[in-house]
Amino acid sequence: MNRILRVPMAVLGLAAGTLLATGPTFAQDEKGKAVYDKVCVACHSAGIAGAPKLGDAKAWAPRIKAGIDTLYESAIKGKAPAMPAKGGATDVSDADIKAAVDYMVAAAEGGAGEPAAAAPAAPAAQAAPAAPTKPRPAALSFNRLLKPASKRNPPPPEDGIHDPDNDGTHALQAPLQVFEALPRSNAGNRVDWVKSLDNNLIAPRWDRTDPAAAPVVMDLNIVREVKGSMPDVVYPHKQHTAWLDCSNCHPQIFIPQKGANQISMAAILLGQKCGVCHGKVAFPVSECRICHSKKKNVMPVKNAQAQ
């Protein structure tokens, strides 16, 4: 893999070297293209996460208007919401990044590449001046459940568990590159995964190899009456069978028989029953009302008196 890459890179380097003698601007363009092909292309060819596509004059116009220095700065330092510093390739020099910006600007001005008919909401999302995310007071970080916006969904090099000294870390996709386009929620990944799937915003495979395989969705709600004043729990098989196989839950976690399963919040918080997934990978128990969603039939007091 490395060797295959190295050859064209060497050729490119050679080409750039010889071209430098004939015309510096042309060589600069070649350099820009090389960097674009290596780094920027990941998002700027398909327009991922609102990135302006290469050659899309409409999407680039407001950015070019802001001035080339602003563009350089956004490219080198990164820009909210989705542009990572240097497109994530921190080992590339500032000059090379600038060359890549020049290349993309030239492509937009020259109308090179295919001009996208509609730039989906990209100008509106990014033309607004990037509000610098202010560091919140440390007091807010006491409660890990109340993360300030600046601490949510950080890119891998900043998330505290990836090693920023590892080259591979910088090649990994940042969560926000994807999450920006998905419906948000208040906990967990802060993505409403069920809605994302229902609205076809994501298309996770049901079968490892067959992209066309569709799940057998079972639409059956189970209502569990709970003690106390909390609303009853409605368990929807539908949303669960869209992701999971029956055997994931039955019969080991939940015995498929009415009345056979004792479930309590204590068990869930210990990672049992619903807590096998909820609180670890599915939405956590802080979102009470997603499960406790059916109002109880309150005793009709007036009628009781009338009798």
CB of 206 to another protein, least distance (A): 5
Give φ, ψ of 224 to 5 degrees: -115, 120
CB of 2 to another protein, least distance (A): 9
Among 3, 65, 134, 208, binds another protein (CB under 8 A): 208
Residues that bind another protein (rule: CB under 8 A) add up to a total of 63
Nearer to another protein, 124 or 146 (CB): 146
Cα–Cα distance list, 48 to 40, 45, 173, 264 (Å): 11, 8, 11, 43
The structure tokens 């599915």 sit at 282
Cβ 235 to another protein shortest distance, Å? 16
- Long-range contacts, stretch 236-239, CB < 8 angstroms, 24+ apart: 239/194
Does 178 engage in binding with another protein (CB under 8 A)?
A: yes
HEC readout, 80-120: CCCECHHHHCCCCCHHHHHHHHHHHHHHHHHCCCCCCCCCC
Q: What is the nearest approach in angstroms of another protein to the Cβ of residue 97?
A: 22
The residue (of 190 and 292) whose beta carbon lies closer to another protein is: 190
Of 209 and 229, nearer to another protein (C-beta) is 209
HSE (CB half, 13 Å, CA atoms) of 252?
7
Is 247 a binding residue for another protein by CB under 8 A? The answer is yes
Q: Binding mask 126-155 vs another protein (x if CB under 8 A, - otherwise)?
A: ------------x--xx-xx-x---x-xx-
Please say whether the beta carbons of 66 and 40 come within 8 A: no
Show the binding pattern over residues 269-298: x = contacts another protein (CB under 8 A), - = does not.
xxxxx-xxxxxxx--xxx------------
The answer to whether residue 204 forms part of the interface with another protein (CB under 8 A) is yes
Question: How many residues does the structure list for the chain?
Answer: 307
First vs last C-alpha separation in the chain: 83
Say if residues 293 and 231 touch (Cβ distance below 8 Å).
yes
Which of 38, 58, 79, 162: binder of another protein (CB under 8 A)? 162
Query: What single-letter amino acid sits at 108?
Result: A
* Residue of 20, 183, 206, 237 interacting with another protein (CB under 8 A): 206
Which of 42, 105, 106, 253 touches another protein (CB under 8 A)?
Answer: 253
Residues 6+ apart with CB under 8 A from 178: 49
What gap in Å lies between CA 126 and CA 123, rounded to an integer?
5
Both tokens assigned to 259:
């009345």
Q: Which two tokens stand for residue 84?
A: 């990572």
d(CA 244, CA 278): 14
Tell whether residue 207 is a contact of another protein (CB under 8 A): yes
Here's the x/- map for another protein, 67-86, by CB under 8 A: it reads as --------------------
User: Does 89 help bind another protein (rule: CB under 8 A)?
Assistant: no
* Nearest distance from C-beta of residue 196 to another protein, angstroms: 8
Provide the minimum distance between the beta carbon of 271 and another protein in the complex, in angstroms, as a whole number. Answer: 3
Interacting residues with another protein (CB under 8 A)? 1, 138, 141-142, 144-145, 147, 151, 153-154, 156, 158-163, 166-169, 171-173, 175, 178, 188-191, 193, 202, 204-209, 215, 242-245, 247-248, 252-253, 268-273, 275-281, 284-286
